[in-house]
Structure 1
Amino acid sequence: MPPILVIANPRANRGRVRHRRAQIQRALAAADARYDWQEPEYPGHAATLAQMAGAAGYATIAVAGGDGTVSEVVNGLMMADDSAVQPALAIFPCGTGNDFAAATGFMHADVQTAGCLVAGQSRAIDIGRVVLHADDAAQTRYFNNSLGVGLEAATVIQADRIQRLNGVVLYAVAAIRTLLHFRAAPMEIECVRHDGHTQAVSGSIMMVSVGNSPRTGGGFHLTPQAKLDDGLLDMGVATAISKLRLLSLLPRALFGKHTSDPAFTLWQCRRIRIQCADGIPVHADGELLSAAAQKIAIEVLPGRLRIHDVRSNNGLAIKKKRG
């Protein structure tokens, strides 16, 4: 069996990986897994490690970190020269939100995840690619879980300023604080829907949520019908409404019940284009991409990422060893 590359971010969730390292390594040892443990030393290092992993002979990358670390690793995988030797992804969740780990089933005990890595079965899922322009400068980014424009991205900025909170509580508090001063912005939105038809929306928009998975913000189901392997991205658009009404939608969004409100509309899309002359904040997988993007182009890349299939493999190797 080829060795596993563990990319462990020591700064994720205020250093939680340091407390989890021994536990994860015991789980890998119990599964008789061969692995190399690497801790990124500077911003972008995780992407570089992931980019070179396939050529170095690794068949699996296991991320010990949060959504930001996972996203950086995915971006590294997308930059690799040979996609035919792309390692399969797995996650030991150690972040503040762990939304993608939840969507892909990696919230089980470490010993079960380690067993899944040894069993070795994987599946293909979609990812998104965004190209955004701000002040004539362009950047390209891949996202595996979600992308947000407007209020959702402004909430990410606020969440980074809050200490001692995690998960859905962190993002709920950040959202409430953001609502106090955030204003809707004039946007023009155009998307190619699942049926090939074009949908256009324009006006004063509070936020746009693009989901590859249902969950974002530590537990909010803003795009509750999104699926990782359907070849589509789900887009939710919230028009300008009163802050009081928006606050009332916040608890409903935990369970995906906000979609019944007429101010929130959902589409399944292949491609999305958003323009905002004044500039609008954008995040991908919980990482701020721009505070004032003016043009945003998004598309789905079907089946572009391989992940270990915990649905059928969880704990298989451990059970065989004990049996």
Structure 2
Amino acid sequence: MKVFVILNPYANRWGAQRRRPQVEKALQAAGLQYELLVTRSRGHATQAAMEAAQGDYDAVISAGGDGTLNEVINGLVKASGDGPTKPLGILPIGTGNDFASSAAIPADLTAAVALITQGKKQQVDLASVNGRVFTNNCAAAMEPLVTIEAEGLQRLSGSIRYVVALIKALMKLKAWQMHVSWDEGDFLGPVYLLSVCNGIRTGGSFIMAPDARINDGLLNFVLIPEIPMRTVLA
């Protein structure tokens, strides 16, 4: 089996770079023939995935977190046009690894590689917004603010990074005026959070949509209207 591995060294504050030897050891132990590319900048994983999708690889593997995975998936989708994408493997070595959790991808690298070598595939839903696809979730207002704050926390990693970022975001939070419509109704007014979810979790530990399933053909959404801050904190 021949695979193309796209590794984002910056994922989990360079934690992915430190785990590169473990990644390669797991691939070699499984007997996989692989080519490994280390990304250099934002968007590099998308371009690499597009090119790999045209090659004679049996699968393209994303080694990183949810951001890396999003870039890789967008590259595979662009390369596939209206047809099926090249099979995707996931090695969850990022900060949150939220989609991997929803897809039941083990955190253990040997076990994650075993899923790939065994050819265990599942089809998952994709959603599109503003010309890009996503697999886990897409949000407005508070959640993106948390992401921005998390990117500025240079010395923290793992779930604690998002917890601290959430606290900082709440201190700056302002409501967005939105008109949201869905199958059964709509909402017009100030909103603190709108999160459209394909996966269950976000931020490494926040269960955003417990009933969401990545392959049910549906999107779940969470809407928090403007409410007293003490209620948000509760």
Question: Normalising TM by the smaller chain, what interval?
Answer: over 0.9
The answer to whether the 8 A contact 1:47-1:74 is kept is yes
How many Å separate the matches in 1 of 2:158 and 2:210? 18
The answer to whether the 8 A contact 2:66-2:97 is kept is yes
The residue type paired with residue 202 of structure 1 is: L
Equivalent positions of 1:9-48 (< 5 A) are 9-48=8-47
The answer to whether the 8 A contact 2:141-2:193 is kept is yes
**1:6 maps to what in 2?**
5
1:83/1:6 CA distance change after superposition, 3 Å: farther
The answer to whether the 8 A contact 2:92-2:100 is kept is yes
Q: Does 1:174 align with 2:165?
A: yes
Equivalent positions of 1:77-88 (< 5 A) are 77-82=76-81, 84=83, 86-88=85-87
Please state how far the C-alpha of 1:32 moved relative to its aligned partner.
Answer: 0.8
**1:297 maps to what in 2?**
none
1:108/1:171 CA distance change after superposition, 3 Å: closer
Larger radius of gyration: 1
RMSD: 1.5
How many Å separate the matches in 1 of 2:141 and 2:151? 16
1:237/1:20 CA distance change after superposition, 3 Å: same
Equivalent positions of 1:9-158 (< 5 A) are 9-82=8-81, 84=83, 86-131=85-130, 140-158=131-149
The answer to whether the 8 A contact 1:168-1:220 is kept is no
Report SS of the residue matched to 2:152: coil
1:150/1:182 CA distance change after superposition, 3 Å: same
The answer to whether the 8 A contact 2:8-2:39 is kept is yes
Would you tell me which structure has more strand in proportion to its own residues?
Answer: 1
The answer to whether the 8 A contact 2:209-2:220 is kept is yes
Q: Does 1:232 align with 2:211?
A: no
Q: Extract unaligned runs of 5+ from structure 2.
A: none
Report SS of the residue matched to 1:205: strand
Report SS of the residue matched to 1:122: coil
TM score, norm. by length of structure 2: 0.94
Please state how far the C-alpha of 1:222 moved relative to its aligned partner.
Answer: 1.2
Residue-by-residue CA offset, 1:126-153 (whole Å, 9 max, x unaligned): 011012xxxxxxxx21111111111111
Please state how far the C-alpha of 1:84 moved relative to its aligned partner.
Answer: 4.2
Q: Extract unaligned runs of 5+ from structure 1.
A: 132-139, 249-323
The residue type paired with residue 166 of structure 2 is: A
**2:153 maps to what in 1?**
162
1:85/1:126 CA distance change after superposition, 3 Å: closer
Please state how far the C-alpha of 1:217 moved relative to its aligned partner.
Answer: 1.0
The answer to whether the 8 A contact 2:3-2:60 is kept is yes
Question: After the TM superposition, which of the residue ranges 39-48 and 237-246 deviates more from structure 2?
Answer: 39-48
1:35/1:203 CA distance change after superposition, 3 Å: same
Report SS of the residue matched to 2:126: strand
Report SS of the residue matched to 2:99: helix
How many Å separate the matches in 2 of 1:185 and 1:126? 28
Please state how far the C-alpha of 1:167 moved relative to its aligned partner.
Answer: 3.1
Please state how far the C-alpha of 1:85 moved relative to its aligned partner.
Answer: 5.8
Residues paired across the two proteins, number: 234
Please state how far the C-alpha of 1:40 moved relative to its aligned partner.
Answer: 1.7
How many Å separate the matches in 2 of 1:29 and 1:217? 31
How many Å separate the matches in 1 of 2:146 and 2:107? 28
Please state how far the C-alpha of 1:99 moved relative to its aligned partner.
Answer: 0.8
Please state how far the C-alpha of 1:83 moved relative to its aligned partner.
Answer: 5.4
How many Å separate the matches in 2 of 1:220 and 1:66? 16
The answer to whether the 8 A contact 2:4-2:60 is kept is yes
Residue-by-residue CA offset, 1:236-255 (whole Å, 9 max, x unaligned): 1101111111111xxxxxxx
How many Å separate the matches in 2 of 1:8 and 1:76? 14
